[in-house]
A = this chain, B = another copy of it.
Amino acid sequence: MDQFTGKHILSVKQFDRDSIQTIFSTADMMLPYAKREKRTRVLDGAILGNMFFEASTRTRVSFGSAFNLLGGFVRETTGMATSALSKGESLYDTARVLSSYADVIAMRHPQSGSVSEFSQGSMVPVINGGDGANEHPTQALLDLYTIEKELASNLKTIDNMHIAMVGDLKYGRTVHSLSKLLANYDNITFSLISPKELAMPDEVISIIEDAGHRVIIHDQLEGNLDADILYLTRIQEERFDDPAEANLYRGQFRLNQQIYTQHCKSNTVIMHPLPRDSRSEANELDTDLNLNPNLAIFRQVENGVLIRMALFALTLGVSDQVQQHECAVNWYSNKSISK
């Protein structure tokens, strides 16, 4: 039993540096299970209510697999329930009902603030899997966890690092949440690289600067990429009155191996919240980077499973029992082979 037991995970605002560290050290402990070197049945018999009122295959399956990796069952829903919610049921009632069926709930919903409102009716811990434009705290945590691990292998730390955030910084929920989490650390340099129309909101910049970090704003990619971490996001054509303008920007904020070699450090880590748009007109993150060992985008995905396993173990109060329920993996897996 610790600070997370029985609690909801709703917002990045609820974390400080200590609680983040608790989550990360729990995630570290999950690695051998996710890599299939061994397995654990610590949540054998427990039920996750994986309530996705908005479609999101990868986030939904990531939550579900994380729970299975701890030995538990998953009940789920995909897409807006046409029945109850459209019949005028309140989120409070929905939560009272659905929490009768589960030990913990992961929830995504298109409406900002909905998951928090839902949590007030729930009898079990609720983990926010994304509530519209508002929050997606497990994505922010997996991004931060990836940064810490990638930097560690480069003998660096989040403190004193240089991160460049690139692309649509105005509407990108991911970079906002990550920035707020990073505000808990010390002496970070933020290079914010975007078209002027898609600049980071002042509110987020204030949070970063008030925490004592350094912010540099650019509107072009070249010459500004010598960061420790390069976090790219999508330039979306629907944000522009003139789609041709979007294509212009997409051309300017595109990364490929040639640009990397010319402008990045030799170990600049490349991150992206995925999916990356690989159509030729977008191609924001060229596939010629797939062989670059600093491309961390698929390690982000793997870290997402670890973070979600950690959050389940913590909210259900079993993080200290994971190892005592260990078993061997008897089937073939090459996941334990380092890539």
Which residues from chain A sit less than 8 Å from chain B, CB to CB? 1, 5-6, 36, 39, 41-47, 49, 55-58, 60-62, 64-65, 68-69, 71, 73-75, 77-78, 81-84, 87-90, 92-94, 96-98, 100-103, 123-124, 274-279, 282, 287, 298, 301-302, 305, 315-318, 321, 327, 329-335
Contact = CB atoms under 8 A, between A and B. Distances in A.
What 10 A-B pairs have minimum CB-CB distances, sorted nearest first? Answer: A317-B332, A89-B275, A88-B277, A65-B101, A316-B331, A88-B279, A84-B275, A68-B73, A90-B278, A57-B81
Given A97-B301, A305-B100, A334-B6, A75 B65 contact: yes
Contacts of A101: 61-62, 64-65, 305
Copies in the complex: 3
Given A36-B103, A64-B101, 20 more contacts: A42-B330, A47-B65, A47-B68, A49-B61, A49-B65, A57-B77, A57-B84, A58-B98, A64-B75, A65-B101, A68-B73, A73-B73, A74-B75, A84-B274, A89-B278, A90-B278, A96-B298, A100-B301, A317-B331, A318-B330
Contacts of A94: 275
Nearest to A69: B47
Q: Which of A46, A97, A98 has the most CB of B within 10 A?
A: A97
Given A57-B81, A75-B61, A331 B46 contact: yes
A16 to B, nearest CB: 22
Contacts of A318: 330-332
A93 B276 contact: yes
B97 A274 contact: yes
A83 B41 CA distance: 32
B88 A275 contact: yes
Contacts of A69: 47
B43 A331 contact: yes
Contacts of A96: 298, 301
B287 A327 contact: no
B62 A103 contact: no
